[in-house]
Amino acid sequence: MASQDDPGIPFGFRHNQESFRLLELSPALLAALESENPLTITIKSAPVTSSASTPSHAVLCTTDETFQLRQVHSSNSVFLIRPSQHNGSTEEVYQSPGLCTIASPKVTLELHRVAISSVSHLKKLIPIFHAPEDGDGDSEMTSWPTGFEKQSRIEIFADVPTCEEECRRGWTEIVAFELDVEDLWQTIEYDGYPRPLVDALLATLAPEGQPTQGKWASVDKSKCVPWLGALILEAQQGANPERFVSDFLKEWTDSLPEAWRASVSLDCITGHYVLSGSTIRFNGGGMDATSATPLSGANANKAPPSSRRWHEKFRNAKK
Amino acid sequence: MPSVPIHLATKHEGSFTRPANPLPQLLQTPSGLALLELQGTINLPPVDPMDTSAELPDASSQDTPIGRLVFPEYSPVNPPENTAWMKRVYLYVGRHQRLTGEIKKLPNPTAVIRRKECTQGKAKAPEEVEELEIVEIVRWKILFSQRPEPVGTE
């Protein structure tokens, strides 16, 4: 018998067993992992809530794909083995290189590609920003929602059990927005503007009743649009006080986030300007944003205010 | 819950010491890890540290011998195209039992994952974000799907 001649490979059991998991990979996932620029994969799950009747499943996410993780138990014993010099035997025949089991994973994780919408998860995590009521034209949140602890988009995405691309898609679908004050500060300090200026501006432009301290802030369109228009007008009054209305409107419009541009109208800065023919100049009055006629409109504040135009606003403010 | 990133372990991971790998070339992996599956369980004698330390010549030896693994048809000089050897593997358990198995290709390549070790020794803050790493991707397994048969000791 061959087995009698062949001493074989000594096989032992390592006392200090390690903990490993086995994860089945799809050929595509494997190729992506082994490529030059390996893919980042993460395991995510929805936060466990005591009220949830359905168990939350862990998912494995690449940038653009979501896989459900399924634990598969095997009735067989599975061992991870690796070469070992120390097989614990005193017999000479066993002193040759051997193998030992170092772990026995009880379950294998299988991946099942799924198409989960992030929308329902996002809706649970993001407060609804209420459109201002028509009538008084004043924009404010009817009540500041409580119970929404996650404040930044990154924190929220971490709690949504889908891949990042699906999070972004859902985010766009429900027209979610975020203004991260920390980001803003970083940009502003980089540009050399003092932080108290930002605090002051946010205090001026935030919707009524909304806290301006903290990680999160929003800017009220009905305050920001007239405030900026009057500011631009005031800023130009030095060297060239008269300018064409069309030029002024263009600068004003260009300084605003795209979604707010439709709100630009001379009507909302009534009292701040004097028209003469096709030119416009600042009337010399005090810059008072709150005295500007606030905009009305049901969809004010629905659009995400983009923070990248802030530079221009502050540049103007410095003049 | 925070998302847990999974990294591919760097190729030159120093955490594994690498004794010579006695497995056939096909089953060897960079980390040395391989999969072995069998029907049933291996019953090991209860580990008594006092008892085994007296038995073992080397105190660092932490392995209990189970038996030996034999690839009767395998020869390293055979060309890799010759896969006949994969049909038969023996695992001798103790002195009286033998399992017969074979080498199987896994339906899907399987990643071996563990918690990422801290680079700064073992000190680990409890609130530290957990990370996982893929230490190996295994494509084959040694499968013993039959019951053990008795063999003589001679």
Same-domain status, A59 and A85: yes
Residue B55 lies in a domain: no
Does residue B50 form part of some domain? Answer: no
Is A96 in the same domain as A77?
A: yes
The answer on A72 and A17 residing in a single domain is yes
**Within a domain: residue B48?**
no
Closest-CA distance of chain A to residue B81, Å: 22
Tens of pLDDT, residue by residue over A201-257, are 777 777 776 665 555 667 777 778 888 888 888 777 766 677 888 888 888 888 887
Which residues of chain B have a CB within 8 Å of the CB of A125?
none
Looking at residue B154, its pLDDT comes to: 54
- Which of these, B45, B21, B134, B148, lies nearest to B92 by C-alpha position? B148
* Chain B residues near residue A73 by CB distance under 8 angstroms: none
ipTM of the complex: 0.84
The answer to whether residue A136 neighbours chain B at the CB level (below 8 Å) is no
Assess A38–B contact: CB distance below 8 Å, yes or no.
Answer: yes
Contact A13 B64 (CB under 8 A): yes
Q: Do A234 and A312 share a domain, yes or no?
A: yes
Measuring CA to CA, which residue among B70, B74, B100, B98 is closest to residue B86? B74
- Report which listed range, A88-97, A106-115, A125-134, B122-131, is most confident: A106-115
Q: Domain boundary residue among A114, A143, A164?
A: A114
| Residue B112 included in any domain | yes
CB-based contact A97 B19, cutoff 8 Å: yes
CA distance A297 to A133: 8
What pLDDT, in 10s, does the model give residues A19-47?
A: 999 999 988 888 888 887 777 788 887 66
> Average pLDDT, whole number, for chain A?
71
* Higher per-residue confidence, A236 vs A266: A266
Query: Chain A: residue nearest B43 by CA?
Result: A13
If asked whether residues A101 and A153 sit together in one domain, one would say no
Residues of B with CB below 8 A from A43's CB? 3-4, 6, 132
| Whether residue B40 has pLDDT greater than 60 | yes
Residues in chain A within 8 Å Cβ distance of B154: 4
CA A197/CA A202 separation, integer angstroms: 9
Residue A264 falls inside a structural domain = yes
| A200 near B CB under 8 A | no
Please check whether residue A158 touches B, CB under 8 A.
yes
When pLDDT is averaged across residues A114-124 and rounded to a whole number, the result is: 79
Token pair 């990422």 in the structure block, residue: B116
Residue A46 located in a structural domain? yes
As a whole-number percent, the residues of chain A with pLDDT over 70 amount to 61
Condensed to tens digits (0 to 9), the pLDDT of residues A143-198 reads: 445 555 556 777 778 778 788 888 888 877 777 666 566 666 676 666 666 667 76
Establish if B53 belongs to a structural domain. no
User: Residue A23: which of B90, B110, B154 has the nearest Cβ?
Assistant: B110
Sign of CA dihedral A80, A85, A86, A91: positive
Q: What is the pLDDT of residue A50?
A: 47
Q: Is the pLDDT reported for residue B34 higher than 80?
A: yes
Which range among A45-54, A223-232, B16-25, B59-68 shows the weakest confidence by mean pLDDT? A45-54
Chain B contact for A21 (CB, 8 A cutoff): yes
Model confidence at B103, in pLDDT bands (50, 70, 90)?
very high
Chain A: residue whose CA lies nearest to B66: A12
The answer to whether residue B27 is domain-embedded is yes
Amino acid identity, position B122? K
pLDDT-derived band of residue A311, with 50, 70 and 90 as boundaries? low
Task: Establish if B58 belongs to a structural domain.
Answer: no
Range name among A139-153, A154-168, A255-269, B41-55 with the lowest pLDDT average: A139-153
In a domain, A79, yes or no: yes
> Residue A33 sits in which domain range?
2-114
pLDDT given at position A318: 56
Closest of A72, A74, A157, A63 to residue A112, by C-alpha: A72
Structural domain range at position B85:
6-42+64-150
Q: Would you say residue A212 lies in a domain?
A: no
Selection from B111, B107, B114 nearest residue A23 by Cα? B111
- Structural domain count, chain B: 1
Total CB pairs under 8 A between chain A and B: 194
Q: How many domains does chain A have?
A: 3
- Inspect the interface and report whether the beta carbons of A11 and B62 lie closer than 8 Å: no
